[in-house]
Structure 1
Amino acid sequence: MPTQQPRLLLPEAPALVAGFGRGALLTTDGELLTLPAGELGRRLRDGPPPLLVHAPATWKRLGIPPLPACDLLELFAFCRPAHPAAPTPRGLAIALDRDPPADDESAAALLPELATALLRHLAAGRHLPLNRDAAMLAQKLGAEIRWPWAESVLAALGQPDARPSLDPLKVWRRLPEWEEEAPPPPPAHQPITQAEARTRLAEILGEGAEQRPQQSDYASAAASAFQVREARGAPNMVLAEAGTGTGKTLGYVAPASLWAERNHAPVWISTYTRNLQRQIDQETARLYPNPEDRRKRVVVRKGRENYLCLLNLEEQIGAAQMAEMLLPLALVARWALATRDGDLMGGDFPGWLSELFGHHAVWPLADRRGECIHSACPHYKACFVEHSIRRAKSATLVVANHALVMVQAALGGGEDGKPLRIVFDEGHHLFDAADSAFSADLTGGETAELRRWLLGAEGGRSRARGLARRMEELVGDRPDLLMPLEEALQAARALPGPGWPSRLAENDPRGTAESFLHAVRRQVIARTQEDDAGYGLECDLHPLNPGVAEAAASLRDAFAALHAPLSTLHGRLHARLEDEAEELEVGDRIRIEAACRGLERRALMPLTAWGAMLASIAEPPRPPGTRPDYVDWFALERREGREVDAGMFRHHLDPTQPFATTVAAPAHGVLITSATLRDTGEEADDPEAAWHGAEARTGLLHLAAPAIRAAVPSPFDYGARTRALVVNDVSREDFGQIAAAYRALFLAAGGGGLGLFTAVRRLREVHARIAEPLARAGIPLYAQHMDAMDNGTLVDVFRAEETSCLLGTDAMRDGVDVPGNALRLLVFDRVPWPRPSILHRERRLHLSEGRPKAHDDAIARHRLRQAFGRLIRRADDKGVFVMLDARTPSRLLAGLPDGVIVQRCGLKQAVETVRDFLAEA
């Protein structure tokens, strides 16, 4: 294709940056204006589409209907795929190594420069393999949807007359393919000494690094998890608490990497949040600075539902006659050529793409419905998931998450096998992770999803592939397989069909499953208070409403009628692996194994669990006060006042028991670590009780051998670098007073404030009252459930915008890592007590060792301690912690770090303290 010299060509457009209800506009004549939203809307409707960053968020902040725009995020995603950037003018400036703008006006003036920088970058890399087909794609976008950046991109590439084509979307043609290798040999079992762990840590840090004795001590303690196991079921267990600032990531990476290299087997590092997963991956660059070497040695693993599915991408492209899908698919295709591992839910994928085009543009591109056909897929050899599974087997470190590790253990090992050595970072979340992994939900959503998995699409625009279609090559015309398959598909019609939520709400159930859900719904509504409307409702199973036991028995029979043919199909397919061993091709064998695994996990296991749950309904209720193995209850789930699901729920009373049995016991060494493992409140004078509590919460009490305990204090001077205040003159029930307090505190800090709420409704009430006055003061306010951004993007924006403030709930309390000045104030609206649910009631009764109030205190104290830890991430950080709940007991605040002195005061004094303390040099 003939090329010309690249040219820089920008759209003739004004530049717009939105505040709350107003915005800054740089006109095409070079005039810089600050105008109210109404005036901006009138100007923009009559002119060319403006340059801006994040169109949905811009229009929402201005409060005007969406208009055409030249969104710089689209240009960034095209020119710099798989590169991180917060979706704001300041975030783009930082990503492009420009000085960040000081205010909205300077940001508007900067937007043309950012566009120019992106086009220069594209022009400089126009001969790179990534950009081989970029011009054809841009030409297609210009021709089909009149993409406003098309001419600019073509000019930068020097190919204004490129042939338009959809071929660049077919990225599977250009992706590398994996090759099968021999199974790895068994690992050796050479231990790591404490001295070797310290030496490896020093090598990672390099010469001249700051001396951190706590980090070296921690690495030494972590090495105990990498000793030789002496008895089956008795792993080398280490419970290590490392205060914030210790440097625990590299502290455990040192012995872990050394053990893996020496014994030729990977060490798995598991986290609770995606954010920490990403941080650990980034930290390993200190160990393996060469990117290619690091990619081989460090593998990030997540569930299949997180990765781009190339077959789904192909199907979407084939159906992409709809104009609104062409641009997002083009940007995803550009990313797919540049991504490290194909992870759509974190990693190097820009989460804001889903916000620009809607979740429907990205959600269908991953296999979130369990429809993978494995080797029957034409893109199997290029599959991102298969790449990551194979890379993990020969990696040094596998960075996974608690959910994947536990689910695979519950399923018997999974595709990755059972790891021998595991590091559980964020170990304080093991109880919650196990609670989720080892629970069972018999709900309308779960059972309807099983029907969809079996029957496929039943009308509408869904492209869901049913079991018959996924297995057609394996079943063929064999009667021994066709008969149980057809019988199972017929039995699946007893499950909730399309439209079941509406029928449930309208008291018009159809079929066996819907009749049971309807009976559950009636009982829940009858047993709960009317003033709970708008929120989830729940009730105990017993005493049963009339008709519930009969509906449960009928559904149990229906499940049995479905389980039987599926079990037959599973058995006959599996038998082929032996009966036809000499005839089966490798691909057919893989397909059969995958089909059997899918049948077992997606259908047979849940049907068995649901059948057991239904059987328990007919059993006599246990006597009050008797300790159960499981906690069962009925619930009606609501979202924003609308019923969305109903069903029966079953959780282990103590979920750490199955964790200990299925995850920890089979391993040879396990390190559980966190900054907040122990409860340092009322048990501070009894260290043994504090350690006992930590062992109970992490499941170590269920193992035969005792754990090695280690505690390394934080090097931070919390007494000098923080202040903790409890405001005692703000009514916690008066939204006006709460909002006024947030406004005053955020203004006093000049931004950098994180507001944490115990309920979404309270967050929304406060946001509605303070967003505009903060915007007038130059402080942007972002919020969960309010802004057109997901949590990860909100945190990225908050980190980049040092004058911004952020409102959030639990996810923000645990998932925010914002070092530096961007987070300098943390405000709680009220004490984060545990939610008074049936499950909590039973655990409070049976797991509290006769001290139910202490059980509640420990949970709240832990949450406050975790939140406080967000404030100080580096030695030079400063921060103020404020609690707006005058009822806060002093015993809860005893869990804050050593040196922190809590002061109770009025709002006026709190505002002065925030202003004066943060203003100090």
Structure 2
Amino acid sequence: MPPTPSFPSPFDAPALIARRGLSSLLTPDGELLDLSAEDAREKLSQLPPPLLVHGPAALRALDLTPLSQPVPWFDLLDLFLFVLPATTVAPTPRGLAIALGLTPPENVTADLLPLLCENLLGRLRAKADTPEGARLRALLLPLTRAGWIWSGEVADAIGSASDPGSAHPFDAVRIWRRLPRWEETAPRPAPSSQPVSPRAARERLRQILGEGAEERPGQADFASVATAAFEPRETLGSPNVVLAEAGTGTGKTLGYIAPSSLWAEQNDGAVWVSTYTRHLQRQIEQELHRLYPDEATLRQKVVVRKGRENYLCLLNMEDLLNTATSRGNDGAAALLPLALLARWAEASRDGDLMGGDLPGWFGELFGQGTLYGVADRRGECIHAACPHYQACFVEHGIRRARQADLVVANHALVMSQAAWASLAPPGLPDEDAAPTRYVFDEGHHVPEAADSAFATVLSGLEAAELRRWLLGAEGSRSRARGLLRRLDDLVERIPSIDAPLHAVLQAARALPAPGWSTRLKSGPDAPSDEEEVPSLLPLEEPELDNPSELFLQALDQQLKARRSQDPQRENGYISTECDLHPTNDTVRKTAEDLSRALRRLQDPLLLLTKRLEAQVEDDPEMEAPTRQRIEAFIRTLHRRAISRVTGWVGMLDALQTPPEDGVTPVHIDFIRTERLPKTRAAQGDHDVGLYRHWLDPTIPFASTIQTPAHGLLLTSATLRDQTGPEDGEESWHAAELRLGATHFMKPPIRASLMSPFNYAKQTRAYVVTDVSVEIASLAHAFRALFEAAGGGALGLFTAIRRLREVHRRINEPLEAQGFPVYAQHVDAMDNATLVDVFRTETHSCLLGTDAMRDGVDVPGEALRMVVFEKTPWPRPDILHRERRRLLSEGRPSDYDDRITRMRLRQAFGRLIRRGDDRGVFVMLDRRMPSRLLSAFPEGVEVRRLSLAETLKDIEEFLSSPSPVSSET
């Protein structure tokens, strides 16, 4: 790409806020216009590139394509990322103004944009004569070469692009040369076991809240109860377990942070706080600023931990940079996102690409491919052999976590760490020291997380991925590194690993070869708006003797013959399934052959790890980096290959023995096939696999965590179905069974703290009786309800396809009235960013699925309506069928009802987050049975009305003075 062409200054350009209704346009002459989409398109065609916020969203609003609009535009988000990297901002003009400390008007128009631009450039001018200004001038070199439209304005503010004298003209992007290096520290001693008194926990809570904070009567009680999880353990394998149900508004986050932080300080140990999603991790981290307002102290005391695939990989970034610079002008465009990522990475707290401090709209502006390319999503980390090992964000986080007081993790990571600790070879140090105290926030999701963590899947994609990891790229342009490339230098130093290494590589050819999906030659006969797409993998001649592919074909044939339900669409996938048993002869025979082939892979893998372990033990003079590299590689071999192959062999062997009648099984085995969306076509457009889930996934959860743990707190607003047919002791017993508390040796301590809100006065609930299941009727209802609320509405869906259809129908008419509609699975922003926008734009609406139902915290007027399109019954798949049959204690319908009521309670809990909030909950499914209405808080009257009556009632309620405010 040639250097940046000459464009007018953004102050001489038009300023645009594009909307589906009337867009706001400030002309270069200073005229402020409200234009229809058609008029805006025509006007823009006559004007130079506009100043705007979030270019892709503007294109969609005006029905423009990248080739039909002025390219490029002055996007203020680009400039914001350069000026204030690692700063969270909602990608709207209002959000940008708030992030810059400005107070936007109620009605935001395009004349705000030049003010935002001047504010950002003014901040840049203040940096011109600072060391940061010198770094920014150096970064302008690659940005200018990439054709960044802001290069001229930035150069005017801080000075022209300059080479800092390095050997490489784009050295400013090579951040690994400047990032801080971690250094090893002495191992942290095991923590002591001093308890935390309830009185001390209450006092710490008072200190965190500070003077003048909103009083929550149950919060101090919650902090007192939580201290029981920090009592000394009396018996090995018998941790103290506390189940604490804290109603919405209790303030449970700070309630458990108070005793957790006290215990960590007094005992010099770490408490791991685990939650269900990355979005909730971020919320907890934000709450911790109240405990540690000083940023340096917060960084020392608190670490957020996620899987490696969430973080910037410096080696991958270097590969992309080298590729871009080696292609001359053809690679210049790739420099833009890399240079801006470099700017962000130097300011980032922890290099977290997914849900951290990289704005969630980055991928939409600069391409998701760049983010996937710089993350370690292929499991190819070479640890100590990496030239950037000591600057690595992941390694920094691991070492900081060893010294931190509070580690904010997620359920999936905690369970994988616990599982690894139980399977790790004796004497092999783990990258994480096993914590002794856990807090599981959103504890009602523990069974779901355990189900995912401890399941075994032998599918085409899983097995082909293992082959790629072992053998590397086979005739493709992929940068995949196989075992031979990773261990090449170690083979010379440790000759004994050569033979098992090559045995592994030979045995790995029994796994599905490139092109396996196309050779499978079958798929679910499901209606789909997805086009068939051929596999983009390089094809080989069919390996007719490949045992993996023969087994997959046998599974596929059995499924085609026996499936009895319509295909299900889930997260863009179309899937069908059938029971494994009784298996046909072909499945049994191919399973036996594949089991033998996998054992031929398993044996040399084990031998390879033993010889690597022996080398570490027998060579006391080995340098520390080499030792660390080998130990890390042994861990990786076990996690990525040995444990997986071992699980597959066990599953295949068990397949030969049918389940006995009348005996409750430990596992549920079934066959599932999926047609994947176009985004996954490069990995195969059709997949089939054998799935094994625990009937009760809390069994492995309890067994892996009860030995290292001394205390666990499981907390949520919905631990129990306390308003269902079960009551008192029975509801607690059902909760303990579901959460796995009965698998621990010591009976749990129970506590229930009610919500402080007056739901009877602050809320209304409705079941609309005349809306059909047809999309047209559903979309009409959503539009009318969102209009009645004046925005501030959250729409929840049980199916992604229905969400997209409703969004398509209501987006334009609602935005024309000033109620923009954002949607999960439609907008290319992550969930956290969508919620940020929803919270910032008070009159906006948000459509979402499960992730928006749980854990979203939007207090105030920004959320005043929740609408459910359908009763959220459990998905009627094989897994649910078997658990319903075997775990329902003879009451399968109650089992379904309990799950559904708890989902409704979670959704209702999004509505009232503060004492002065109020709002309405609407169910559009007229068939929802009355027995589910007990899910709503006591005092909430649920009215069954027509849509017209519901709208009238809602308008009267939301327009009347707040009863809570008037009481106050």
| Bin for the TM-score computed over the shorter chain | over 0.9
State the SS of the aligned residue for 1:362: helix
Q: Please give the alpha-carbon distance, in whole angstroms, between the structure 1 residues aligned to 2:156 and 2:489.
A: 48
For the 8 Å contact 1:722–1:900, the answer to whether it is kept is yes
| Match runs of 1:576-615 below 5 Å | 576-581=615-620, 583-615=621-653
* Contact 2:146–2:334 (Cα < 8 Å) also in 1: no
Task: Report deviation, 1:249.
Answer: 1.0
Deviations 1:540-594 (A, max 9, x none): 012324522222222222211211222211111111012222x311111111111
Q: Deviations over 1:98-136 (max 9, x none)?
A: 223544xx4322112111111111222334544432112
Aligned residue type for 2:587:
V
Q: CA deviation at 1:211?
A: 3.3
Residue 711 (structure 1) shift: 0.9
| Pair 127,626 (structure 1): closer, same or farther in 2 beyond 3 Å | farther
Cα distance in 2 for partners of 1:422, 1:550 equals 45
Q: Which residue of 1 aligns with 2:599?
A: 560
Q: Which one-letter code corresponds to 1:702 in the other structure?
A: H
Distance 1:208 1:800, change over 3 A: closer
TM-score, normalized by length of structure 2?
A: 0.91
Give the TM-score, by structure 1 length: 0.95
Q: Which amino acid aligns with 2:273?
A: I
- Which runs of structure 2 are paired with 1:362-373 in the superposition (5 Å)? 362-373=371-382
Matches within 5 A, 1:335-484: 335-412=344-421, 414-476=430-492, 478-484=494-500
Residues 214-260 of structure 1: CA deviation (Å, up to 9, x unaligned): 11111111111111111111111111011111111111111111111
- Structure 1 residue 517 displacement after superposition: 1.5
Contact 1:304–1:385 at 8 Å: present in 2 too? yes
- The residue that corresponds to 1:330 in the other structure is 339
The alpha-carbon distance between structure 1 residues 919 and 460, as it changes in their structure 2 partners (threshold 3 A), is farther
- Give the counterpart of 2:138 among 136, 140, 149: 136
- 1:829 equivalent among 860, 869, 894: 869
For residues 823-853 of structure 1, the C-alpha deviation after alignment (integer angstroms, 9 at most, x for no partner) is 1110001100000000000100111111110
**How many Å separate the matches in 2 of 1:349 and 1:307?**
10
The aligned amino acid for 1:611 is V
Q: Alpha-carbon deviations, 1:321-350, whole Å to 9, x = none? A: 423321111111111111111111112111
- Letter of the 2:116 counterpart: L
- Cα deviations by residue, 1:6-45 (Å, 9 ceiling, x for unpaired): xx96364222222227633222222233334344344434
Unaligned runs of 5+ in 1: 1-7
Q: Is the 8 A contact 2:142 2:335 kept in 1?
A: no
- Mapping 1:188-207, distance limit 5 Å: 188-207=192-211
* Offset, 1:530: 8.0
Which residue matches 2:753?
A: 712
Q: How does 1:168-187 map to 2 (within 5 A)?
A: 168-187=172-191
SS at match of 1:93: helix
Q: For residues 93-108 of structure 1, what are the structure 2 equivalents within 5 Å?
A: 93-103=97-107, 106-108=108-110
Instruction: Give the one of 893, 907, 910 matched to 1:853.
Output: 893
Tell me if the contact between 2:22 and 2:36 (Cα under 8 Å) persists in the aligned partners.
yes
**SS of residue in 2 equivalent to 1:268:** strand
Contact 2:668 2:692 in 1 (8 A): yes
**1:404-425: per-residue Cα shift (whole Å, max 9, x none)?**
1100001117421211011111
Is the 2:21–2:816 Cα contact (8 Å) retained in structure 1?
Answer: no
Distance 2:485 2:822 in 1: 45
Q: Show the counterpart of 2:940.
A: 900
Q: Does residue 681 of structure 2 align to residue 636 of structure 1?
A: no
The 1:416/1:530 distance shift into structure 2, 3 A limit, reads closer
Q: Does 1:870 align with 2:874?
A: no
Greater shift, 471-480 or 626-635, is seen at: 471-480
Deviation track 1:838-870 (CA, whole Å, cap 9, x = no partner) reads: 000010011111111000001100000000000
In 2: Cα distance, 1:728 partner to 1:819 partner:
29
**Which residue is 1:487 aligned to?**
503
CA spacing shift, 1:532–1:305, aligned 2, 3 Å: closer
- Pair 1:663 & 2:705 matched: yes
- Cα distance per residue 1:429-462 (max 9 Å; x no partner): 0010111111111111111111111111224442
1:209 aligns with 2:213: yes
Answer yes or no: is the 8 Å Cα contact 1:724–1:901 preserved in 2.
Answer: yes
Q: Which runs of 5+ in 2 are unaligned?
A: 1-7, 326-330, 423-429, 524-540, 962-968
| Alignment CA distance shift 1:292-1:531 (3 Å) | closer
Paired with 2:455 and 2:409, the residues of 1 have a C-alpha distance of 20
Counterpart code for 2:550: S
Identity %: 57
Give the C-alpha shift of residue 75 in structure 1.
Answer: 0.9
Native 8 Å contact 1:139 1:154 kept in 2? no
| Cα deviation 1:392-413 (Å, max 9, x = unaligned) | 1111111111111100001117
In the other structure, the counterpart of 2:117 is: 115
State how far apart, in whole Å, the 1-side matches of 2:883 and 2:907 are.
Answer: 24
Partner amino acid, structure 2, of 1:899: G
- Is residue 21–residue 817 contact of structure 2 (8 Å, CA) maintained in 1? no
Tell me the distance in 1 between the aligned counterparts of 2:385 and 2:180: 18
In structure 2, how many angstroms separate the alpha carbons of the residues matched to 1:868 and 1:682? 16
Deviation, 1:646, is: 1.2
Q: How does 1:570-581 map to 2 (within 5 A)?
A: 570-581=609-620
CA contact 1:832–1:860 (8 Å) conserved in 2: yes
Q: Aligned runs of 1:270-289 on 2, under 5 Å? A: 270-289=274-293
How many Å separate the matches in 2 of 1:574 and 1:784? Answer: 47
Asked if 2 retains the 8 angstrom alpha-carbon contact of 1:11 and 1:148, the reply is no
**Equivalences, count:** 907
- Equivalent residue number for residue 23 of structure 1: 23
CA shift for structure 1 position 519: 1.8
Q: Displacement of 1:202 after TM fit?
A: 1.4
User: Which of the residues 766, 780, 802 maps onto 1:725?
Assistant: 766
Deviations 1:719-755 (A, max 9, x none): 1111110001111x22111111111000000101111
What does residue range 781-792 of structure 1 map to in structure 2 within 5 Å?
A: 781-792=821-832
2:849 corresponds to which of 809, 813, 825:
809
Q: Which residue does the alignment assign to 1:696? A: 737
SS in 1 for 2:500: helix
Q: Secondary structure at the match of 1:881?
A: strand
Structure 1: how far apart are the matches of 2:628 and 2:382? 10
